[in-house]
Amino acid sequence: MSFGLLSYLAADVGPTVHVAPAGVFTIGGWTITNSILYGWICSIAIVAFLIWVARRVTVKPQGGIIQFIEAGVDFITNLVENSFDDKKVGHKYVPFFVTLFFFIILNNWLGLLPFVGEGFSSEGHPLLRPFTGDLNGTLAIGVVTMLMVYGASILEAGGPLKYLKHFFIGSPLNPLYFVIGLLEMFTDLTRVLSLSLRLFLNITIGEIVIAVFAYLGSIAAPLTALPFTMLEVLVAALQAYIFTILATMYLAIAVNHTSAHPADDDLTDAGVPETIGVQTAGGSARG
Amino acid sequence: MIIADAVNTAIIGKGLMIGGGFIGPAIGIGLIGGNYLQAVGRNPEAAKFLGQALIFVAIVELFGLLAFASIFIVK
């Protein structure tokens, strides 16, 4: 945060806080904002770094940063495979979710570097801004994720109509089930917004909290902002994990539900205790 | 009208929105964390469900974040 110290001292009242991205320069009529600029830099860095790691993975563990990436891949692989009833089905979708996890977590962490945010500014706006601290960026991630989830759900269900049928708990001709099914579909569409808003607001609030405490610290800004930066490192990892596991759950629920109807019948048979007839009124008719 | 002339009601509105909007998620996250610790205390094997507790924390937390986002549309 020491890079941003002078700009905090120069401000008259309160810390400078930005919620929306700002344009940095234009190319042929397209405004390039600070968040997409840093997003491009981060994407290149992430791809180069992960290719470098992938070339150095060996059977015998090496330790260091490669070990960390391997542990992350292993963690997400187990998470995704165990969410599905059939592990082979889950294994097909592992690469997407691992990519998602590492893209979000590395973008969040790179956004915490001191020179990002309020550090360097041009014409009153920060020059760089974390990619996940911009609603456009997280909405793009959310839309891509949910398109992939819908596409894979339709493929696993074997057709759009069969996929739509799993929203209805009974026959769609029943008016009550029809309305409930429509409500379920609407709830499903709000997932795009809830996924992207959660990530965007967490990262943006982290930036604001760090900026506020760096401003309060004045001369000792690095000391006062350090604990909250440490907290944000944890929050960044947690948000990446939550985004990944929620996307996995959305896919797993749809796939498991459309492919596991025979198991439901077994559960209803085995789930009824034999003594239920004794304890309820009119039990003799059931028993 | 008189109040609106004397004080900046938007700031009062933002303050109420932040304060009121953060009470609910704070109680909710407290309940989730407390119940998780109770479950672990009764049955230490339940500690493996920390990931599921964190998912519910994220769902509850979203409503507080929405309250925070709403202060930017108050003029």
- pLDDT tens for B1-53 read 676 677 778 888 888 888 999 999 999 999 999 999 999 999 998 888 888 88
Beta bridge partners of A23: A33
From the number of C-beta atoms within 10 Å of its C-beta (0-12, 13-18, 19+), residue A278 rates as: exposed
Average pLDDT over chain B reads 86
CA B42 to chain centre: 27
Q: Do A201 and B68 touch (CB under 8 A)?
A: yes
Q: Is residue A140 part of a domain?
A: yes
* Chain B partners within 8 Å of A245 (Cβ): 51, 55
Cβ atoms of A127 and A120 closer than 8 Å: yes
Residue with tokens 């110290």: A5
Total count of domains within chain A: 1
The whole-angstrom separation of Cα A74 and Cα A77 is 5
The whole-angstrom separation of Cα A63 and Cα A219 is 39
Where residue A26 falls among pLDDT bands split at 50, 70, 90? confident
* Chain A partners within 8 Å of B25 (Cβ): none
The whole-angstrom separation of Cα B46 and Cα B2 is 58
User: A19 in the Ramachandran plot: left (φ > 0), alpha (ψ -120 to 50) or beta?
Assistant: alpha
* Chain A partners within 8 Å of B72 (Cβ): 19
Q: Is residue A11 part of a domain?
A: no
Q: Is residue A27 part of a domain?
A: no
pLDDT one-digit tens code per residue, A48-72:
999 999 888 887 777 788 888 988 9
What pLDDT is attached to residue A207? 86
- The whole-angstrom distance between B60's CA and the closest CA on chain A is 10
Beta bridge partners of A122: A125
> Tokens representing B50?
């920390």
CB-closest option in A194, A238, A245 to B62: A194
Q: Which residues of chain A from 39 to 98 reach within 8 Å of chain B, CB to CB?
A: 79
Residue with tokens 């234009």: A26
* DSSP category for residue A42: H
The whole-angstrom separation of Cα A227 and Cα A233 is 10
Q: Is residue A278 part of a domain?
A: no
What pLDDT is attached to residue A169? 75
CB-closest option in A19, A198, A205 to B58: A198
Q: Do A198 and B62 touch (CB under 8 A)?
A: yes
* Chain B partners within 8 Å of A238 (Cβ): 54, 58
**% helix / strand / coil in chain A, to the nearest 5?**
75, 5, 25
Q: Is residue A36 part of a domain?
A: no
Where residue A11 falls among pLDDT bands split at 50, 70, 90? very low
3-state secondary structure of A26: strand
Task: Please state whether the predicted TM-score (pTM) of the whole model is above 0.90.
Answer: no
ipTM higher than threshold 0.90: no
CB-closest option in A79, A202, A242 to B65: A202
Q: Which of A10-14, A77-81, A109-113, A221-225 has the least mean pLDDT?
A: A10-14
Is A19 at the interface with chain B, CB within 8 A? yes
- The whole-angstrom distance between B39's CA and the closest CA on chain A is 22
Walk me through the domains of chain B, giving residue ranges and CATH numbers: 2-70 (1.20.20.10)
- The whole-angstrom distance between B38's CA and the closest CA on chain A is 22
Q: How far is CA A181 from CA A10, A29, A262, B63, in A?
A: 57, 45, 22, 25
What pLDDT is attached to residue A285? 45
Report whether pLDDT(B63) > 80: yes
Closest residue in A to B61 (Cα) is A198
Where residue A122 falls among pLDDT bands split at 50, 70, 90? low
The whole-angstrom separation of Cα A107 and Cα A101 is 10
Is A177 at the interface with chain B, CB within 8 A? no
User: Between A274 and A81, whose confidence is greater?
Assistant: A81
pLDDT one-digit tens code per residue, A230-256:
989 998 999 999 999 999 999 988 888
Q: Which domain covers residue A225, as residue numbers? A: 54-112+131-260
Give per-residue burial for A188-226: e unless 16+ CB within 10 Å, then b: beebbebbbbbbbbbbbbbbbbbbbbbbebeeebbebbb
Q: Is residue A34 part of a domain?
A: no
Where residue A277 falls among pLDDT bands split at 50, 70, 90? very low
User: Between A273 and A239, whose confidence is greater?
Assistant: A239
Where residue B74 falls among pLDDT bands split at 50, 70, 90? confident
**Pairs of residues, one from chain A and one from chain B, whose beta carbons lie less than 8 Å apart:** 33
Report whether pLDDT(A185) > 60: yes
Is A17 at the interface with chain B, CB within 8 A? no
Is A253 at the interface with chain B, CB within 8 A? no
Q: Is residue A274 part of a domain?
A: no
Mean of pLDDT values over A199-220: 86
What pLDDT is attached to residue A266? 45
The maximal CA–CA distance of chain A, rounded, in angstroms, is 83
Beta bridge partners of A33: A23
What pLDDT is attached to residue A75? 92
> Residue type for A110, please?
L
Highest mean pLDDT among A26-35, A41-50, A270-279: A41-50
Beta bridge partners of A31: A26
Q: Is residue A22 part of a domain?
A: no
